[in-house]
Amino acid sequence: MKVVLENLTKRYPSRNKRAAGDVIAVDHFTFEIPDGKLVGLLGPSGCGKSTTLNLISGLTKPTEGSIYFGDEDVTKMAPEHRGVGLVFQNYALYPHLTVMENITFPLENLKGKAKLPKAERERRAREIAALVQIDSLLDRKPSELSGGQQQRVAIARALVKMPRVLLLDEPLSNLDARLRLQTREEIKRIQKETGITTVFVTHDQDEAMSISDLIVVMKDGVVQQIGAPQAVYDDPANLFVARFLGTPPINVFEGCVKKEKLYIGGKRVLDVEGADDGEVLVGIRPEGFLPDEKGSFSCTLSGIEVMGRDVSIVSTHKASQNATVRAIVPSELGINTASSEVSFSLKPSKVYLFDKETERRIGFAFEGDNDTQKESSVGFVGKILGQLFKRGGK
Ligand code: ADP
Ligand code: MG
């Protein structure tokens, strides 16, 4: 079932008399959620994710705009008739009911033709419980379950009525890091197996990127960008999106373009064919730096952090907007830590220019896909890892 949002807007009247105007929680959101896909709604706290979800579920009424499930206009339809399954951050299970009773609960009060005999209700609950792998826990009470198991019961309860659309609002926030990873993979699997169109709300970019077919990045109620996770990461529409995706975050510098050359801190660092002259903000992904003795981009070395497969080179630069500049490079590359300077050449595909005023992306052309050539010609400074660790450990 595809879900179409058309000009969807929610305004709340401001309670603060001194504050100007209403709170626009969701601002003219237009988007078609494709049938059977998992869409991640991503953005910082307060950007309008839950409001969007509640508009889709019908718990909140829009100020403007329409919602369609398939071709059916559901904008004025009551939530209980929309056929949506909802899962929230707090599992909200009934503590006095068993897992089985919690799962069958939504089926208890079906009326008329929809009414199901007890045996059928339990058969369905068992089927769903097997899908979310809690079929051995059906006789327990919620207090006898771990957080992850409780969340699975909540998901089973949302699925038992075979919803047309599944809506998940930060469903993993109450779980510890390890369980969060495991459960998000589970959710992806369950979504694939059932093929239910799903909207997954989270403020965690890593979570959204890893499980979504499409991500929608929001800020202050306004959609910033929609696309496949990798495409949005590789091709951010503006500085906000570039900053929001990726760990460690993108490095941002003040810079300027003169005659299709990019300057950072007064040094010429890259050819940027087609970019107009003027001041810019420059985003460089941590993986966009190649340690290179002859590189044009030099930073003051602060230290090295070992991450296993990769190392993180931590440095500072006077034009940097971030407190530190972080470069992630394969651990095989030797870094001369005896020097107080570290020089890099830049991978043009990992360098982004943004208009200083609007923070919108400015495109530029660069020569082919020569990143790999560059990588192999990186000037090796020798593998002085011993020294490197000493310095990093200080
Ligand atoms: P998110 O889920 O992304 O953290 P929300 O959708 O909950 O954000 O909120 C978006 C904005 O709308 C926030 O500024 C919030 O304060 C405001 N808001 C949400 N619900 C209400 C409400 N019932 N009344 C007034 N303002 C609200
Ligand atoms: Mg929320």
Integer Cα distance of 15 and 8 in angstroms: 22
- From the CA of 26, give the closest atom in ligand 1: 10
Q: Report the largest interatomic distance among the alpha carbons of the chain, rounded to a whole angstrom.
A: 79
Distance 26 CA to ligand 1 centre (A): 9
Q: For ligand 1, pick from 9, 12, 49, 205 the residue to mutate: most ligand atoms within 8 Å of CB.
A: 12
Give the model's pLDDT for residue 328: 96
- From the CA of 43, give the closest atom in ligand 1: 3
Integer Cα distance of 353 and 54 in angstroms: 36
Residues (pLDDT < 50) of the chain are 369-394
Distance 49 CA to ligand 1 centre (A): 8
Residue nearest to atom 15 of ligand 1 (CA): 46
In 10 A of CB 163, how many CB atoms? 21
Q: Is 119 exposed, middle or buried (0-12, 13-18, 19+ CB in 10 A)?
A: exposed
Whether 113 contacts 134, CB under 8 Å: no
| Residue 14 per-residue DSSP state | -
Check if 12 has its Cβ closer than 6 Å to any atom of ligand 1. yes
Contacts of 329 (CB under 8 A, 6+ apart): 287, 289, 290, 291, 310, 311, 313, 335
* CA 52, 216, 212, 251 torsion-angle sign: negative
Whether 157 contacts 103, CB under 8 Å: yes
Distance 328 CA to ligand 1 centre (A): 37
Integer Cα distance of 297 and 289 in angstroms: 9
Integer Cα distance of 260 and 348 in angstroms: 13
Check if 16 has its Cβ closer than 6 Å to any atom of ligand 1. no
Q: For ligand 1, pick from 47, 61, 216 the residue to mutate: most ligand atoms within 8 Å of CB.
A: 47
Distances (CA, A) of 177 to 119, 183, 235, 314: 38, 10, 29, 25
Type of residue at 44: P
Give the model's pLDDT for residue 44: 96
Give the model's pLDDT for residue 177: 87
- From the CA of 54, give the closest atom in ligand 1: 6
Integer Cα distance of 368 and 288 in angstroms: 16
Check if 48 has its Cβ closer than 6 Å to any atom of ligand 1. yes
Q: For ligand 1, pick from 51, 63, 167 the residue to mutate: most ligand atoms within 8 Å of CB.
A: 51
Whether 100 contacts 122, CB under 8 Å: yes
pTM: 0.88
- Which residues sit opposite 354 in a β-bridge? 281, 361
Q: Is 81 exposed, middle or buried (0-12, 13-18, 19+ CB in 10 A)?
A: exposed
- From the CA of 53, give the closest atom in ligand 1: 6
Note the pLDDT tens digit of each residue in 46-66. Answer: 999 999 999 999 999 999 999
Q: Is 33 exposed, middle or buried (0-12, 13-18, 19+ CB in 10 A)?
A: buried
Q: Taking Cα atoms as reference points, which of 82, 49, 54, 48 lies closest to residue 68? A: 82
Kindly identify the ligand whose nearest atom is closest to the C-alpha of 218: 1
Check if 47 has its Cβ closer than 6 Å to any atom of ligand 1. yes
Check if 49 has its Cβ closer than 6 Å to any atom of ligand 1. yes
Integer Cα distance of 394 and 373 in angstroms: 35
Check if 202 has its Cβ closer than 6 Å to any atom of ligand 1. no
Integer Cα distance of 61 and 193 in angstroms: 31
Q: For ligand 1, pick from 50, 199, 202 the residue to mutate: most ligand atoms within 8 Å of CB.
A: 50
Which token pair is 275? 């970019």
Q: Taking Cα atoms as reference points, which of 260, 261, 240 lies closest to residue 252? A: 240
- From the CA of 15, give the closest atom in ligand 1: 25
Distance 216 CA to ligand 1 centre (A): 17
- From the CA of 10, give the closest atom in ligand 1: 12
Give the model's pLDDT for residue 174: 84
Kindly identify the ligand whose nearest atom is closest to the C-alpha of 51: 1
Whether 333 contacts 309, CB under 8 Å: no
Cα dihedral 225→227→231→236 (10° resolution):
0
Q: Taking Cα atoms as reference points, which of 167, 161, 228, 240 lies closest to residue 197? A: 167
Give the model's pLDDT for residue 368: 66
Give the model's pLDDT for residue 110: 82
Instruction: Compute the radius of gyration of the chain from its Cα atoms.
Output: 25
